[in-house]
Amino acid sequence: MQRAVRRRRKADQPPLALIYGLLLAPAAFLVTFNYIPAFSALYHAFTEWDIGGESTWVGLANFRALTGDPVFHKSIVNVAKLGIFAFATHLTVPFVVAEMIFHLKSERWRYFCRVAVVLPMIVPGVVTFMLWSYIYSDAGILTELLVRLHLHDWVRGWLSDPKTALWAVAFVGFPFAGGFNVLIYYAGLTNIPGSVLEAAELDGLSAPGRILRMHIPLILQQVKLLVVMTMIGVVNGFESIYILTMDGGPGYETTVPGLYMYLNGFSYQRMGLACAIGLLMLLFLLAFTLSLNRFIRTEDYEPEV
Amino acid sequence: MSRFPFSENGQAATDCVLRVAIHGAAAAFFSTLCCLAALIATSCAQKDGAGMPDNRGVATRGVLRVDLNIYNPGTIPAGIGEPNKVSAELAESWQAGRKGPRIRYQPLIQTGASEGEWLKTQLIGGVAPEIINLNAEIAWPDVGKGWYVALDPFLEQPNPYAEGNEHWIELFSNQDLVNAKRAPDGLLYCIPLDIVETGIFYNKDLMAQAGITEFPDTWHDMLDVLDRLQAMKLVPMTSVANLGSDWGQDIIFEMLYHDILPEMDLAPSRPDAEGYLGHYLEPREAGFLFTKGFFSTRDPRWREMNRLLLEWRGYWARELKNTDPMRLFLTGRLAMLWDGSWSIRRMVTDPYVDFEWGIAYIPAITRETSPYASGTPATVIGGAAIQLHVTHSAVLNDNLDDCIDFLMYLTAPQNIERLASEALVFIPNIRGAQMDPRLEPFNEIFQRRYCAIKWLESFDGEYKKYWRRMLDYYLNGGVDLDEFLVMLEDNFAKWVEAHRGEPGWDFEPLEAVWQQREANLIRELEPAR
């Protein structure tokens, strides 16, 4: 009887070959468009290569060139500044917003606020950057506002002035209160068991005390995730700079390693050097993530029964 | 253990759903494949005709792929008004009653880089459109590769679409301009269909508010006017797309070097282009003169040129790259806009234009401003606009004669006139074709001399990009004049070193001429008293 049931089920089930066959297509695309280019870049970091031409093995020459390249050094300094700014804003402001939503009494308001912070995510990033480009322009909102306030001396070419260009790029997205980071923090906060929150309240812990001593330690996993993601975004991202300043200018004031990699690969026809920059970025991110995992250990909260 | 990778706990319903889902996915996958195959088959079999632009880059027999840039059907020149239709109508009328390929307009993909990387990939693959618009100077390095068809033999034939024409080449009104587009091998690979020129659009109402009734005649007066406009909290002047710095240095250069250019021009231009390229410095000459101390920190005129440029920049928009100067101008916040003839279309059609405006040009630099000034009028920045090349795709696809015939058809006065009138951006370069009178101010400006060198266009690759970047940095206060001059000198030296000895970069003939003129020229490297 059991054998008959098993045989019938076997007949009803799709053949394994079909399943694996269907998996083949995405796997082929994944290998072709993700893995092969990635491994090719690893190899080409040690070559002199112009796309379309022959690549020549040059060993560590590209890396040596980068160690003496002032533009690359400048790009590292720039990305470090952007990174510090991003950590200071993209990790803290969303946390404050998530806490505020979490503390709302009305579920309806909480829902409304969640939607409100997520809604801007539907605007494509390119559109946001172009909007900010307009905000910074001579005919833009920022200039208009300052002129209306009779602060003519404050008006400047925000993206053209070497003193302000990098900070103008960093400020894109102000007030940094929306989007994904808020949701992650909020999810972490809602995961804290109600019993723990009640106990803290009964023990007379003040609101700031609850946040510092209880919320933050209990959402450390989320913090870690956001730290890693922010770092990846800062190191790899250059779209905003490319759209706002076009070439990482004025001079090299807004050039970051990601943009320098792009310029080397597609504007200066030095794909080997571009791959070397890419490899260095990868190694940095790998080291950063591993260090974070090693030094900041987090465990899921398991309430004692 | 089931060979099916799901739970075995009697979930018949789940199994059923999954089975359906997997079969559905399989069906969708194969349907997609079938659709793709059908699409490819359809696109191959489809009869291509004139119509809206198509980005397909597949070489197809029976079709002529044509890029007319701003004249392409569907394009809205200057971003205002109705989309172009005339080019499609011309294609239809050319095809009517004619056996042979049909026209498919295919705009070139703009990669944002003037080197045209995308086009190169198409040319290497032999799949570029048969007729393309490209600045002749960009094509020159590649003419030896056989990517472009020399048009000289065809230009000697009569154009059957132009009444009474015996030699097609005679149909072009500015012969100097045509000959200036000859490649270094002396052959002509393009047809300069029309002419573009720049001018200063100025708001007469704002000028009147500042107490200015006439556009200034001299550079000195212009700076005075700009001062007064700036005092009114206006943006006194700016250029489109941050081109002012590029155009500005070429214009100032000529006015400061004008008196010594005949001596500096060690390799005279082609006699048949003298009227346009008189004393134009080709890159090799510039490179050679650099090795003798010109265009370096030793050259006082070079310093003066960059000083004046920075001084002028103080009156431009603060945000050079991201500001839309046309918006500023139309909303009365910008008094003078240095722009191309293409903007005339917006100025005459935009409903926001509710003020009196005029067109003028950069005034002459006089001794009041600089001891090196020649006092001669500022030179022209523009030149040939649409430059149509026939690529080797025409040879590969065996439709070269059709390409030539279509080009002859386009250049017939009655046809180019229709194209130019509809777009209202450029001046036709064809005899007998009437120009829209609204373009007349630009035509007048174009009668001046051409600039002595296009600096950024003369440089190439990373040297050009570096210069542009550093110029931007300098004009925005990133470095001072001394630092900037050192940067330029360093870049110049690397550029010369990279090209020295290359074909077309032979310094020996220049050295011989230099020996004769050395005494006079070296004197010019001493600062003026």
**B515, containing H or E segment:** helix B508-523
Task: Cite the DSSP H helix spans in B1-85.
Answer: 12-45
Q: What is the pLDDT of residue B529?
A: 64
Q: How many CA atoms lie within 13 A of B381 on its CB side?
A: 25
Question: If DSSP codes are grouped into helix, strand and coil, which group holds residue B445?
Answer: helix
Q: Which amino acid is at A276?
A: A
Q: Most confidently modeled of A51-65, B2-16, B389-403?
A: B389-403
- pLDDT band for position B8 (50/70/90)? very low
CB atoms within 10 A of CB A47: 19
Partner-chain residue, chosen from B22, B321, B323, that has the shortest CB–CB distance to A19: B22
pLDDT digits 0-9 by tens, B438-452: 999 999 999 888 888
Phi then psi dihedrals of residue A294, to 5 deg: -80, -45
pLDDT recorded at residue A89: 92
Output the six-digit token pair for B235.
């943006």
Identify all chain B residues contacting A169, using CB atoms and an 8 Å cutoff: none
Q: DSSP letter string over B343-399? A: GHHHHHH-TT--S-EEEE-PPBP-TTT-TT---PPPPB--EE--EEEEBTHHHHTT-
How much is the pLDDT for B19?
A: 55
Mean pLDDT of B201-215: 94
pLDDT band with cut points at 50, 70 and 90 for residue B17: very low
| Best to test chain A binding among B476, B483, B491 (most A CBs inside 10 Å) | B476
Task: For residue A106, count CB atoms less than 10 angstroms from its CB and return exposed for 0-12, middle for 13-18, buried for 19 or more.
Answer: exposed
CB B243 within 8 A of CB B344: no
Residue B14: the pLDDT is 42
Residues 6+ apart with CB under 8 A from B253: B305, B451, B452, B453, B455
The Cα–Cα gap between B35 and B175 comes to 53
Give the distance from residue A251's alpha carbon to the nearest chain B alpha carbon, in angstroms. 5
- Round to the nearest angstrom and report the end-to-end CA distance of chain B: 99
pLDDT score of B405 more than 90: yes
- Torsion angle in degrees (nearest 10) through CA of B285, B288, B292, B297: 80
> Alpha-carbon distance B97 to B85, whole Å?
20
Tokens representing residue A41 in the block: 């870049």
State which residue of chain B sits closest to A147, comparing Cα positions. B233
Q: What is the pLDDT of residues B307-353, one digit of tens each?
A: 999 999 999 998 888 788 898 999 999 999 999 999 999 999 998 89
pLDDT at B214 over 60: yes
Considering only CA atoms, which of A223, A123, A102, A137 is closest in space to residue A173? A123
Note the pLDDT of residue B26: 52
The yes-or-no verdict on residue A256 having pLDDT over 60 is: yes
Average pLDDT (B141-157) is 92
Read off the pLDDT of residues A44-83 as tens digits, 9 standing for 90 and up.
999 988 766 788 898 899 999 999 999 999 999 999 999 9
Specify the pLDDT at position B208.
95
Q: DSSP letter string over B297-358? A: TT-HHHHHHHHHHHHHHTTS-SSTTT--HHHHHHTTSEEEEEEEGGGHHHHHH-TT--S-EE
| Whether B4 and A138 lie within 8 Å, measured CB to CB | no
Using an 8 Å CB-CB cutoff, list residues of chain B that contact chain A: 2-5, 15-16, 19, 22-23, 25-26, 29, 113, 117, 121, 124, 233, 235, 238, 317-324, 327-328, 331, 333, 461-462, 465, 469-470, 472-473, 476-479
Are B124 and A134 a contacting pair at CB < 8 A?
Answer: no
CB–CB of A157 and B317 under 8 A? yes
User: What would the pLDDT profile of B340-382 be if each residue is shown by its tens digit?
Assistant: 999 999 999 998 899 999 999 999 999 999 999 999 999 988 8
pLDDT of residue B52: 39
Question: Is residue B33 pLDDT above 70, yes or no?
Answer: no
pLDDT (average), residues B160-180:
93
Neighbours of B28 (CB within 10 A): 10
Option in A137, A138, A162 nearest B473 (CB): A162
Flag whether pLDDT at B149 surpasses 60: yes
Neighbours of B371 (CB within 10 A): 12
Contact in structure between B135 and B69 (CB atoms under 8 Å): no
The one-character DSSP state at B218 is B
A residues 241..260 contacting B (CB < 8 A) = 244-247, 249-253
The SS3 call for residue B237 is strand
Answer for the pair B439, B427: CB distance below 8 angstroms, yes or no: yes
Residue B7 φ then ψ, to 5°:
-60, 145
The pair of three-digit structure tokens given for residue A202, joined into one six-digit string: 């009964």
Counting Cα atoms < 13 Å in the Cβ hemisphere of B101 gives 23
- Band of residue A3 on the pLDDT scale cut at 50, 70, 90: low
Mean pLDDT score, B82-91: 96
A246 to chain B: nearest residue by CA? B321
Whether ipTM tops 0.90, in short, is no
The rounded Cα B23 to chain-centroid distance in angstroms is 55
Q: Which residue has the tokens 């006139």?
A: B417
CB B89 within 8 A of CB B20: no
Q: What is the mean pLDDT of residues A4-9?
A: 62
State the average pLDDT over residues B211-216. Answer: 92
Q: Which percentage of chain A shows pLDDT scores above 70?
A: 92
- Residue B273's pLDDT is what? 78
| CA–CA separation, B68 and B49 (whole Å) | 16
Residue B396 CB burial class (10 angstroms; 0-12, 13-18, ≥19): middle
**Backbone Cα Rg of chain A:** 25
B56 pLDDT higher than 50: no
Q: Whole-model pTM?
A: 0.81
Whether the predicted pLDDT of B30 surpasses 70: no
Return the ∠ at Cα A37 (arms to A32 and A40), rounded to 5°: 125
A133: closest CA of chain B, how far (Å): 6
pLDDT level of residue B89 (50, 70, 90 thresholds): very high
Round to whole Å and give the CA distance between A191 and A218.
Answer: 9
Contact B200/B336 with Cβ under 8 angstroms? yes
Residues of chain B in contact with residue A158, where contact means CB-CB under 8 angstroms, are 319
Strand bridging mode B357-360 / B334-340: unpaired
CB-nearest to A246 from B117, B321, B476 is B321
Q: What is the C-alpha end-to-end distance of chain A, expressed in Å?
A: 45
Using the CB atoms, write b or e for B257-270: b if 16+ within 10 Å: bbebbebbbbeebe
Query: Which residues, at least 6 apart from B334, have a Cβ–Cβ distance to it below 8 Å?
Result: B203, B234, B235, B236, B237, B238, B317, B325, B328
Q: Is the pLDDT of residue B12 over 50?
A: no
Phi/psi-derived region of residue B155, left when phi > 0, alpha when psi is between -120 and 50, beta in every other case:
alpha
User: For B445-498, what is each residue's pLDDT tens digit?
Assistant: 998 888 888 898 888 778 888 999 999 999 999 999 999 999 999 999 999 999
> CA A70, A73, A78 angle in degrees (round to 5)?
125
**pLDDT per position as a tens digit, A136-190:** 988 888 988 998 898 888 888 899 999 999 999 999 988 888 788 899 999 999 8
HSE, side-chain direction, 13 A CA sphere, residue A295: 6
Across the range B182-188, mean pLDDT stands at 91
- Mean pLDDT over each residue of chain B, to the nearest integer: 85
- CB contacts of A251 in chain B (<8 Å) are 469-470, 472-473, 478-479
**Three-state secondary structure of chain A:** CHHHHHHHHHHHCCCHHHHHHHHHHHHHHHHHHHHHHHHHHHHHCCEECCCCCCCEECCCHHHHHHHCCHHHHHHHHHHHHHHHHHHHHHCHHHHHHHHHHHCCCCHHHHHHHHHHHHHHHHCCHHHHHHHHHHHHCCCCHHHHHHHHCCCHHHCCCCCCCCCCHHHHHHCCCCCCCCCHHHHHHHHHHHCCCHHHHHHHHHCCCCHHHHHHHHHHHHCHHHHHHHHHHHHHHHHHCCHHHHHHHCCCCCCCCCCCHHHHHHHHHHHCCCHHHHHHHHHHHHHHHHHHHHHHHHHCCCCCCCCCC
